[in-house]
Chains A and B, each alone.
Chain A
Amino acid sequence: MKWIPKFNSSNYLRVIFIIAIFILLFLSSIAYKHNKDLNESSKLLMHTYEINIELERLMSAIKDAETGQRGYMITRNHRFLAPYIFSRDKVNTSFIALKKLTANNPVQKQNLEKIYKLIIQRYVSFENCLKYSAPETYDKRKLDNHMFGGRILMENIRFKVDEMNSIEKDFLNKSLKKYDQEISLGPVFSISLFLVALAFILLAYRKISNDLERLTIYNKKLLISSGLMAESETIGKFSTWQWDLQTDKIEYSDNLYRLLGFLPNAFVPNKDTFLNYVHPDDKEAIATSMEGIINNKELPFIYYKIVKPNNQIRHFKSTGKLLIDQNGSNILLGINFDITDEHLLNIKLQEHNNELVKINKELASFNHVASHDLQEPLRKILTFISRISETDKAALSESGKEYILKVETSAKRMRVLIDDLLLFSKTNTTKKEFVKSDLNELFENVKSELAVIIDDKKANLNADKLPSLDVIPYQIEQLFINLIGNSLKYSQPGIAPHIIIKCEEILSNEYPEIIDQPFKKFFKITFTDNGMGFDPQFKDNIFVLFQRLHSKTDYPGTGIGLAICKKIVENHKGYITADSKPGQGSVFTVFLPQ
């Protein structure tokens, strides 16, 4: 799997802020160091100057001593000796200060010690000069020597002091140079770092403002959809609730309050509130199923009644689901539907259904009556007539014989009528078992069934290849028999019947008769004959039960055959039409769904 870094907005911001903070910390540490360096360098400067000053003080103290001694030696006035005497203390003080200042520098310390030795020697030379200049111990040669030696010592001291000063100066210069280098690196680097941090913060700001903008849009969308939801709940008569299992807080949608017969937010719901409104009959079942949701994480549809405060009973249907969100909290979501209207409608439908079942039963018992009780007397009439022997008939008058014949004909016709009526009701009431059948085979069966009449009439049948369909085979056979039989029966006298059967696949939207059918593809089977045809104004009537276009003496029949055809086609969710012009044959069209 490809790894895709998934930065959501808040993580992204977090990263930017952490980087910015690090940059700022870094910058402030650089500034701190910079400051410290400056401090160090100024301290160093001070140190160098202090040493310098202290060394000069030392020099001047010795020079004071020299000047004082010279004044005394010339004037012999003791007042001139005072600076000389104080100079020792001054030298010591300066020396201690210098010792402290050079404590960290071994080279300077050594130099200082050398100076110290030189100074001591200088003071010894001072003493000697005083000694040999005094009148009691005056010695010109020795005095000159010591005076000269003093001069050289002074120069040495001067030299050493200069050396120390220059060492300090060098050290100072070196350090300053180093700091300068460090400090000169600082500003460009800090400024660029600062700019980077600024860029990051700007980026974060942009991100935040973008997010805010998006949030505003989503908020607006949310507002619209929650408004829509509330509206659709009202229209659709349903409501929602959510139950946070962690906090045990339950929230009802506004419409739930309304469905229960309250104003929105009329009370604060808790776990048991809802049960108060459930009809006593259903309380236990609802309580159990509420327990069940937590265990099964799902609530299958439950049906129950609630009682509104005005004692009105409403029928509810509910379902629910346990939802675990990203933060791992468990929330139960539920939907309650008010199905009272549907429920009442269902009851009505059920009543209608029961009525239909009753009517069907009555129809079945009517069939029974027709098949048994009506046929029984008829059969007896016919049997008794058949028992009137030829000898009995001979004894009758001519008119008597004719009446007997008419009784027989009428009774026979009644039997045909009853049989056809039974056949008609059978196409309606018997089990409809659809079997995939080859219509060509069924057609062949029909042809052999009608073979005698076809031969008799010298009829010519031409049929296309027919499809295989899910049909009730004996009914389709009956359909073919009735349609072909009809064409054979109503042929034109003296002309051999010619029946053409054509079949094609069509789409229902091309034919207004079947456009309302749920099927799209149909087979259109046409039966075209060259018979006597009929007046097209009867093209719908001929399918009505007992409707006949010819007198029964010319063409015997009951007027049930085409009614049966219509019933059969309807049983197959198809449609049948007829069209004709008198003397020009007729066309019967059967649409059967694929």
Chain B
Amino acid sequence: MQKNALHILLADDDEDDRLFFKDAFEEVKVQTKVEFVFDGLQLMEHLMNPDTKLPDILFLDLNMPKKTGKECLIEIKKTEHLKNLIIAIYSTSSSDEDIEDTFIEGANIYIKKPSDFNALKKIINEVITLNWHYHTSGLNRDNFLLSLK
């Protein structure tokens, strides 16, 4: 595993989704290192651990047991050394309410879980090649929800 590999963290309680996610990353051409946590509590413990190397991008599911994705998002944005973490919401829901709330709480992008494996690969490709500095500075409600053309 290369040292400059992109460090990805996915917080998702669903085993199948983790599997899809892992497989998709394996088929993406960029070098990545993918780690998983299974719920919100575990995510926060992991992030708060001083030994943890922070990920380059955090993929955050919203509907998780013990602590929801939204709660995690709020906590992360309140924590000094975590607040600049790039967070991609990765959820089944596409309700306006969820999109609006996570946008306000400071997530960087919102991804609706696709129902096609190829689409997933495309999305992942898009996200990891995104110029985050550029994207974040020009962030608005219209480009917050990732849509593939």
User: Residues on A close to B: CB < 8 A?
Assistant: 368, 371-372, 375-376, 378-380, 382-383, 386-387, 415, 430
Across the A-B interface, the 10 shortest Cβ-Cβ residue pairs: A382-B115, A379-B115, A386-B117, A386-B116, A387-B117, A376-B92, A380-B16, A372-B93, A375-B92, A383-B117
Contacts of B14 in A (CB 8 A): 376
Minimal beta-carbon separation of B34 from chain A (angstroms): 18
Chain B residues with Cβ under 8 A from A386's Cβ? 115-118
A371 close to B115 (CB less than 8 A): no
Can you list 17 A-B pairs with a CB-CB distance of less than 8 A? A371-B92, A371-B94, A371-B95, A372-B63, A372-B92, A375-B92, A376-B14, A379-B92, A379-B114, A379-B115, A382-B115, A383-B16, A383-B116, A383-B120, A386-B118, A387-B20, A430-B96
Contacts of A430 in B (CB 8 A): 96
A383 to B120, CA, bound (A): 9
Shortest CB distance B113–A (Å):
6
Query: How many angstroms between the C-alpha atoms of A188 and B114 in the bound complex?
Result: 127
Docked Cα-Cα span, A387 to B117, in Å, equals 6
* Complex Cα gap A387–B17 (Å): 13
B92 contacts A382, CB within 8 Å? Answer: no
For A379, list chain B residues within 8 Å (CB). Answer: 92, 113-115
Asked if residues B115 and A415 are in contact (CB atoms below 8 Å), the reply is yes
Given A383-B114, A386-B116, 10 more contacts at CB 8 Å?
A371-B93, A372-B63, A372-B92, A376-B92, A379-B114, A380-B115, A382-B115, A383-B117, A386-B117, A387-B20
Bound CA span A380–B16, Å: 8
Convert B16-44 into 0s and 1s, putting 1 for each residue whose CB lies closer than 8 angstroms to a CB of A: 11001001000000000000000000000
Contacts of B116 in A (CB 8 A): 382-383, 386
Residues of A near B96 (CB, < 8 A) are 430
- What is the predominant secondary structure among interface residues of chain A facing chain B? helix
Looking across the interface, which residue of chain A has its beta carbon closest to that of B119?
A386
B118 surroundings in chain A (CB, below 8 A):
386
Q: Smallest Cβ distance from B43 to chain A, in angstroms? A: 19
Nearest B residue (CB) for A378: B115
**Min distance, Cβ B110 to any Cβ of chain A, angstroms:** 14
Interface SS of chain B: loop
Complex Cα spacing A42 to B93, Å: 136
Q: Which of A372, A383, A387 has the most CB of B within 10 A?
A: A383
CA distance A378 to B113 in the complex (A): 12
What B residues does A387 contact at CB under 8 A?
20, 23, 117
Measured CA separation A371–B14 after assembly (Å): 17
Distance between A378 CB and nearest chain B CB, rounded to angstroms: 7
What is the CA–CA distance of A491 and B116 in the complex, to the nearest angstrom? Answer: 32
Residues in A with CB closer than 8 Å to B94 are 371
Cα separation A382 to B116 with both chains bound (whole Å): 6
CB-nearest residue of chain B relative to A375?
B92
Q: How far is the CA of A55 from the CA of B95 in the complex (A)?
A: 149
Distance (Å) between the CB of B51 and the closest chain A CB?
34
B36 to chain A, nearest CB (A): 17
Residues of B91-134 whose CB lies within 8 A of A: 92-96, 113-118, 120
Q: How far does the Cβ of B119 sit from chain A's closest Cβ, in whole Å? A: 8
**Complex: how many Å from CA A371 to CA B92?**
8
Question: What residue in chain A is nearest B96 (Cβ atoms)?
Answer: A430
B92 with A383: CB separation less than 8 A: no
Cβ contacts under 8 Å, A372 to chain B = 63, 92-93
Report the bound CA distance from A379 to B117 in whole Å: 10
A375 to B95, CA, bound (A): 12
Q: How far is the CB of A369 from chain B (nearest CB, A)?
A: 11
* A4 CB to nearest chain B CB (Å): 72
Give complex CA distance A380, B96 in Å. 22
CA distance A371 to B23 in the complex (A): 26
**CB-CB nearest in chain B for A380:** B16
Contact partners of A380 in chain B: CB under 8 A: 16-17, 115
- How far is B111's CA from A379's CA once the two chains are assembled, in angstroms? 14
A383 touches B93 (CB 8 A): no
- Min CB gap A516→B, angstroms: 34
User: CA–CA, A415 to B20, complex, Å?
Assistant: 20
When C-beta atoms are compared, the residue in chain B nearest to A419 turns out to be B94
Instruction: Identify the closest chain A residue to B63 (Cβ).
Output: A372
Distance in angstroms between the alpha carbons of A371 and B115 in the assembled complex: 14
Chain B residues near A382 (CB, 8 Å)?
115-116
Tell me the bound Cα distance from A159 to B34 in angstroms.
Answer: 177
Cross-chain contact A383 with B115 (CB below 8 angstroms)? yes
Q: Which residues on the B side are within 8 Å of A378 (C-beta)?
A: 115
- Most chain A beta carbons < 10 A, residue from B17, B23, B92, B118: B92
| Closest CB in chain B relative to A471 CB, distance in Å | 19
- Which B residues between 1 and 20 are near A, CB-CB below 8 angstroms? 14, 16-17, 20
Given the complex of chains A and B, what is the CA–CA distance between A383 and B123 in angstroms? 14
A141 to B: closest C-beta gap in Å: 175
Give A388's nearest chain B residue, CB to CB. B117
Across the interface, which residues of B come within 8 angstroms of A375, CB to CB?
92
A364 to chain B, nearest CB (A): 10
Residue among B94, B114, B117 with the most chain A CB within 10 A?
Answer: B117
| Residues in chain A near residue B92, CB distance under 8 A | 371-372, 375-376, 379
CB distance from B86 to the nearest CB of A (A): 25
Residues of A within 8 A of B114 (CB): 379, 383
Give the residue name and chain of the A residue nearest to B118 (CB): A386
Q: How far is the CB of B11 from chain A (nearest CB, A)?
A: 16
- Closest Cβ of chain A: how far from B42's Cβ, in Å? 20
Neighbouring A residues of B23 by C-beta, 8 Å: 387
Distance between Cα atoms of A380 and B93 in the complex (Å): 14
Min Cβ gap B21→A in Å is: 11
Residues of A within 8 A of B16 (CB): 380, 383
CB distance from B114 to the nearest CB of A (A): 8
Which residues on A sit within 8 Å (CB–CB) of B93? 371-372
Contacts of B113 in A (CB 8 A): 379
CB distance from A200 to the nearest CB of B (A): 92
Q: How far is the CA of A387 from the CA of B14 in the complex (A)?
A: 18
Question: A379 — nearest CB in chain B belongs to which residue?
Answer: B115
Q: Which residue of B lies closest to A411 (CB)?
A: B115
A382 vs B17: C-alpha distance when bound (angstroms): 12
**Interface 0/1 of B65-107, CB less than 8 Å to A:** 0000000000000000000000000001111100000000000
Instruction: Kindly state the separation between the CA atoms of A379 and B113 in the bound complex, as whole angstroms.
Output: 8
How far in angstroms is the closest Cβ of chain A from B59? 16
